[in-house]
Structure 1
Amino acid sequence: MSYEYTWIGRGRSRPIATIAIVAINVAVYLYTSYQSFFSQTSQDWIDALSFIPILLQVPSQWYRIITSMFTHADIFHIFFNMWFLYFFGSEVEKRIGSLKFLVLYFISGLMAIVFHVAFTSIGGSINLVIPALGASGAISGVLGAYVMLYPRRKLAGCYLILIIPLCLTMTASWFLLLWFATQVIYGYLKFGGVAFFAHVGGFVNGIALIYPLAKKAEAKTDLLPGYFFMEWRQRVGLGKALKTTLVILLLAVVGGAIYSTLIAPSMSGVYVYSIKVVDSSGKTFEDQAYFSPPSNSVPPSLDAPRIVFNRFLWSGLLTGYLQPSNEVVELRYTSRIRDPNYGLRIRLSIDGLAMYDSNHILKSFNGTVQTDVIKVGYYWLWPVASVGEYESFSVKMVGEDVAGDAGPTIVFPCAVISTITSIAALYISLYKDREIAEEELWVIAPFRI
């Protein structure tokens, strides 16, 4: 700990880079969401700008790495992202400067994508075809940097529990570390809908990258010139409890990255099914579904194609280990199967011509599907399911393996990079935190000279 007299200068520069990034994100959102009165981004723009891991195999689609960082799903998505970016990003930028902040931000966004791809071997190959979008990965890098730079900063906030306000103050680093813990846990639990490991990757990169970017902390304040202070200051670092928690979480990430590196070369493929269904009334429906052996899937959004696809999935007919490969076979199946969602027993009859590929995955089907339809209603907030009418569908379904050798060519190198980055972040958290943490200042006895 040091003790000295110091002159204090006038305020700090504005976070120009942070403000510019916020402005660009908002402008992109306004342009891509005006058709829905700015409530959400249109699906056409999401399809064109979001990042889809499997498209890394196509160089002409690499633009998505950047565009996905500036595209948001809806107004809540962009509001909270920009709120966090400005609140934490402005402090990080003031510390390291605008140019270094841009380096931190964009490399964190890139590493978020790398981690997202790397951990598809854990979350399931199906994630290779699911779109990801938003600035969350890059912002997570800013949050990771903030934890290392300002481990003792305080946050005060009020939350409503029913109608009772709860106000509390806590250390910013603990708040962000708890958030990081939820991303790691939810990622391993395979919760859908959010690219949790992209957030993890950005945060881990922020920890690793802030060390070479951060200059030595200096005492600063926004008071007017002409004041003279006597001060004590100390560089404290993370602290034992905070460091221990962070190290445990980083070890969990390192373990996952190493595991992904080992299993990536043997990852199974991802099949995209184009499904055309004609129901008993003569209406035609066309949609797509995704399937990754042995059981991961994304069903169609339209009712009739979804019913047909789920019947093939639940009956196990998407895989045909006893069927010859690349030959047209007559597929006849009649049985009662169990709905895995509600436990209902439903009738199913399938009759048509099918073909299975060399991996024994259904390649095509042309025929009829007859089955009980499940009806779902709600009693208060609880879903209630029952067996509905027995309906017949005319079906044409064609599947294609779009993943190919994505495991060894895409996932494996991303897993290697993720492993190295995670180990670097672990080392910096253990041994370098005091070198970059902002000094804690205790200022006393102001005098006007």
Structure 2
Amino acid sequence: MRRVTDAIKHLLIINILFFVAAQLLNDEFYYAMALWFPENDNFGIWQFVTHMFMHDKSSIFHILFNMYALWAFGSPLEQMWGRNKFLFFYFSAGIGAALIHTLVNYYQFREGYQAMIGAGYTPDRIAELLPTIPPGQYLQVEGISNKVMQNFAMSYNIPAVGASGAVYGILVAFGMMFPNAELMLIFLPVPIKAKYFIPILIALDLFSGVTGMSIFGSGIAHFAHVGGALFGFIMMWYWKRNQFKNNRWD
């Protein structure tokens, strides 16, 4: 069995502690650590980091899948790179994922906001309505598509949590370092080489993010996954072109 490397071990412990704390403490802790839209009153700049240690409180599978992937794909990378280089990569991918997620949310929020202005709503009225929309619900406005209004509301009042963005960066790095390693999808128990498996997984997330049709279930920040993968690819491409690729940062 693959050993648990130093950085992986500490990341696992911190994630588990945050998950337990979210179960035991009131919602204020969850709201403070999750990543909110910048115009939401719950937003804090630290959330670009802390959201990576938070997971869905209602299901243990979210944290289990992320922690398993972190261990399975991150351990060989840390063994090659050293602890500090691995942590730099991990947090860069996670923060990059949060930035992409926030940019997509901003686009969707502005699209809905401008549509409501065009429908006759004033900025003050919109500001009054936003906090009253329950998470997962949206306003129906005549002349504006439900999809636009749904994206508008979800961008504002549903926070992002989870290590998935950072893990997708790790997946990309693993695929570039071990392209011929054979992996299996849960719903397709046939070995697929990492150089095919990981691009397919990212493409599915991109498809789900663009169309809103997800085979993985609802409530998933697909563009955060794509963002983590993108930042992971950029860092690997940069390291490949210079001396940092082969250097350990112990």
Q: Given the two structures, how large is their TM-score scaled by the length of structure 2?
A: 0.68
Report the CA distance between 1:129 and its aligned residue: 3.4
In structure 2, the residue corresponding to 1:61 is in which secondary structure? coil
More moved, 61-70 vs 198-207: 61-70
Report the CA distance between 1:71 and its aligned residue: 0.7
Q: 1:150 aligns with which of 174, 178, 201?
A: 178
Closer, same or farther: CA 94–20 of 1 in aligned 2, 3 Å: same
**Percent identity of paired positions between Structure 1 and Structure 2:** 30
**Equivalent position of 1:207 in the other structure:** 233
The unaligned stretches of length 5 or more in structure 2 are: 109-147
Closer, same or farther: CA 16–130 of 1 in aligned 2, 3 Å: same
Q: Give yes or no for contact 2:4–2:71 (8 Å, CA) kept in 1.
A: no
Q: 1:108 aligns with which of 88, 93, 111?
A: 93
Q: Give yes or no for contact 1:18–1:86 (8 Å, CA) kept in 2.
A: yes
Q: Higher helix proportion, which one? A: 2
Taking the aligned partners of 1:197 and 1:25, their CA distance within structure 2 comes to 22
Q: Deviations over 1:420-440 (max 9, x none)?
A: xxxxxxxxxxxxxxxxxxxxx
**Equivalent position of 1:429 in the other structure:** none
Q: CA RMSD in A?
A: 2.9
Q: Given the two structures, how large is their TM-score scaled by the length of structure 1?
A: 0.39
Report the CA distance between 1:209 and its aligned residue: 0.8
Closer, same or farther: CA 29–13 of 1 in aligned 2, 3 Å: closer
Report the CA distance between 1:64 and its aligned residue: 1.7
Report the structure number with the largest CA radius of gyration.
1
**Equivalent position of 2:115 in the other structure:** none
Structure with greater contact order relative to length (CA < 8 Å, sep ≥ 6): 2
Aligned residues: 193
Q: 1:185 aligns with which of 191, 207, 219?
A: 207
Q: Give yes or no for contact 2:81–2:247 (8 Å, CA) kept in 1.
A: no
Residue identity matched to 1:145: A
Taking the aligned partners of 1:128 and 1:178, their CA distance within structure 2 comes to 30
Q: Does 1:131 align with 2:159?
A: yes
Taking the aligned partners of 1:210 and 1:33, their CA distance within structure 2 comes to 36
Q: Give yes or no for contact 2:40–2:157 (8 Å, CA) kept in 1.
A: no
In structure 1, the residue corresponding to 2:8 is in which secondary structure? helix
Taking the aligned partners of 2:233 and 2:206, their CA distance within structure 1 comes to 15
In structure 2, the residue corresponding to 1:168 is in which secondary structure? strand
Taking the aligned partners of 2:30 and 2:16, their CA distance within structure 1 comes to 15
**Equivalent position of 1:66 in the other structure:** 49
In structure 1, the residue corresponding to 2:66 is in which secondary structure? helix
Taking the aligned partners of 1:133 and 1:85, their CA distance within structure 2 comes to 16
Q: Deviations over 1:260-312 (max 9, x none)?
A: xxxxxxxxxxxxxxxxxxxxxxxxxxxxxxxxxxxxxxxxxxxxxxxxxxxxx
**Equivalent position of 1:307 in the other structure:** none
Residue identity matched to 1:200: V
Taking the aligned partners of 1:204 and 1:57, their CA distance within structure 2 comes to 29
Q: Higher strand proportion, which one? A: 1
**Equivalent position of 2:37 in the other structure:** 53
Q: Give yes or no for contact 1:132–1:195 (8 Å, CA) kept in 2.
A: yes
Q: Give yes or no for contact 1:13–1:94 (8 Å, CA) kept in 2.
A: no
Taking the aligned partners of 2:176 and 2:168, their CA distance within structure 1 comes to 13
**Equivalent position of 2:145 in the other structure:** none
Q: Deviations over 1:143-179 (max 9, x none)?
A: 111121111112368x6x8xxxx85322123222221
The unaligned stretches of length 5 or more in structure 1 are: 1-11, 36-41, 218-449
Taking the aligned partners of 2:225 and 2:48, their CA distance within structure 1 comes to 15
Large movers: runs of 4+ above 3 Å: 42-45, 55-58, 122-126
Taking the aligned partners of 2:247 and 2:44, their CA distance within structure 1 comes to 41
Residue identity matched to 2:176: M
Q: Give yes or no for contact 2:40–2:156 (8 Å, CA) kept in 1.
A: no
